[in-house]
Amino acid sequence: MKNYLSINDIDSLPNWVDEAIALKKDPYQFKEMGKHKTICLLFFNNSLRTRLSTQKAAMHMGMEVMVMNFGSEGWALEYEDGTVMDQGNSEHIKEAAKVVSQYCDIIAIRAFAKLKDRTKDEAEEVLNGFTKYASIPVVNMESSIAHPLQALADAITITESNTKPKPKVVLSWAPHPKALPHAVANSFIEMIKKQNVEFTITHPKGYELNPSITKGCAIEYDQNKALENADFVYVKNWSSYSDYGKVLSQDSHWMMTQAKLGSAKFMHCLPVRRNVVVEDAVLDGGQSLVLEQANNRTFAAQIVLKKILEHSNVFSAKGKE
Ligand SMILES: NCCC[C@H](NC(=O)CCC(=O)O)C(=O)O
Ligand SMILES: NC(=O)OP(=O)(O)O
C-alpha cells in the first residue's frame, strides 16, 4: 500500500484489525522497521488524539517524527494550476509538497472540510494536492470527506468488545452548536459496510449524508425505533449535506441519554460536547467505549505505518522507489 487516503485502501479489514490487536500486545516488535525514517505530520486544523496517537505509533515503529501546525505556521498555499499568484497565497502546492518530500519518508495531513462549497470540499484540494505532487506516501489524518484512521480504530474497538455473531450497530446524529464535517460519519459507514453487522443510521430529516456513501444502508428517522436492540451506538453530529454545511436543527431530544442507550455500548470519536451530544451519565458510565476508541487510534495508525513501510522497503530494496 502506498497511500492511506480512505477505508478503500485497506485490502482486508479483518486482517488489519487482527494485526493491530497483535501490535497492541507488543507495540515495539517492529521498532527496526522505521529506523532512520521520518514522518512529517502536517496539521491545517486542531487535534489532540490524531496528533499524539500518530506520533506514538511512529515511535513504536522506530521512526523520527516532525510535526507542523501548517494552518498557523506554514505559508498560505495556492492549489490552482496556472494562477497568477498576486493575491494572499504565498507558495504553490507543487513546491510545498516536493519540498516536504525531501525532508521525510511519509507525510500525514489533516485538512477539514470548510463547509462552504461542497464541490470544493469534495475535490479535497489539500489532501489530493499533496498526494499528486509529493514523491512519498501520504496518510489522511482527517480530510474534507474522510477520517479513515478513526474508522479503523473504531473497527478495532468493535471487534474487541463484540460478543455476538451479528451485532446491531446504530449511527445516530446528535445536536451540536457548530456546523461539523461529514468525514467521521462517512468513513464509519464505509468501514461498517465491510463488517458482518446489522446497521441502521438515524437522523432528523434534512441530515441525509452523501447518498453514494449511504447506498444500501437502512435509514430510520425515528431515533427510538432505530435504537431498539442496539449493541453499539455510534453518536456523531454532522451538518446538512443537501443544504451544504448548514445547521438545520439543534433539537436536544436527539442527545444520547442512558435511558435511550439501554444496554448498548456507546461510541464517539471525541472531542465531545457533554450534555449537548451525550449526557454525563453515558460518558461516565460503564458502557462508554470512547477511551478504548482513543487508545486504539495508536494501533490503527501503527498498522497503517507498518503497511506503508513494508511496501516502501520492498520497493527501495528493488531500487524502484
Ligand atoms: N477528529 C474528530 C472530530 C473533528 C471534528 N469535530 C469538531 O470540530 C468538534 C469541535 C467542537 O466541538 O467545537 C469533526 O466533527 O469532524
Ligand atoms: N478523534 C479525533 O480525530 O480526535 P482529534 O480531532 O483530537 O485528533
Q: What is the pLDDT of residues 57-76, one digit of tens each?
A: 999 999 999 999 998 999 99
Task: Please state the ipTM of this predicted complex.
Answer: 0.99
Q: How far is the CA of 293 from the centre of ligand 2 (A)?
A: 11
Residue 321 is predicted with a pLDDT of 45
Residue 320 is predicted with a pLDDT of 45
Name the pLDDT band for 90 (thresholds 50, 70, 90). Answer: very high
CATH topology agreement for domains 7-146+298-317 and 148-293: yes
Instruction: Looking at the CA of 236, name the nearest ligand.
Output: 1
**Does any ligand 2 atom lie closer than 6 A to the CB of residue 45?**
no
pLDDT of 319 above 70: no
Structural domain boundaries of the chain? 7-146+298-317, 148-293
Q: What mean pLDDT comes out for the span 292-320?
A: 88
Residues contacting 95, CB < 8 A, separation 6+: none
Read off the pLDDT of residues 235-264 as tens digits, 9 standing for 90 and up: 999 999 999 999 999 999 999 999 999 999
Q: Superfamily assignment of 7-146+298-317 in CATH?
A: Aspartate/ornithine carbamoyltransferase (3.40.50.1370)
pLDDT of 122 above 60: yes
For a mutational test of ligand 1's pocket, the pick from 44, 178, 180, i.e. the residue with the most ligand atoms closer than 8 A to its C-beta, is 180
Read off the pLDDT of residues 93-106 as tens digits, 9 standing for 90 and up: 999 999 999 999 99
Q: What is the pTM of this model?
A: 0.97
**Does any ligand 1 atom lie closer than 6 A to the CB of residue 215?**
no
Q: Whose CA is nearest to atom 9 of ligand 1?
A: 271
Rounded-to-integer distance, Cα 57 and Cα 71, Å: 23
**Does any ligand 1 atom lie closer than 6 A to the CB of residue 154?**
no
**Mean predicted lDDT score pLDDT of the chain:** 97
Q: Whose CA is nearest to atom 8 of ligand 1?
A: 180
**Residue 173 known to bind ligand:** no
**Residue 269 known to bind ligand:** yes
- Whether 11 contacts 315, CB under 8 Å: no
Residue 288 is predicted with a pLDDT of 98
Residue 318 is predicted with a pLDDT of 61
**Does any ligand 1 atom lie closer than 6 A to the CB of residue 290?**
no
CA atoms 146, 148, 149, 155: torsion sign: positive
**Ordered strands of the 198-202 beta sheet:** 218-219, 198-202, 168-173, 232-236, 265-267
**Residue 297 known to bind ligand:** yes
pLDDT of 220 above 70: yes
Taking CA atoms, 210 is separated from 127, 184, 203, in Å, by 19, 13, 13
Residues contacting 128, CB < 8 A, separation 6+: none
pLDDT of 56 above 70: yes
Phi/psi of residue 305, nearest 5 degrees:
-65, -40
Q: Superfamily assignment of 148-293 in CATH?
A: Aspartate/ornithine carbamoyltransferase (3.40.50.1370)
**Does any ligand 2 atom lie closer than 6 A to the CB of residue 151?**
no
**Does any ligand 2 atom lie closer than 6 A to the CB of residue 295?**
no
Phi/psi of residue 101, nearest 5 degrees:
-60, -25
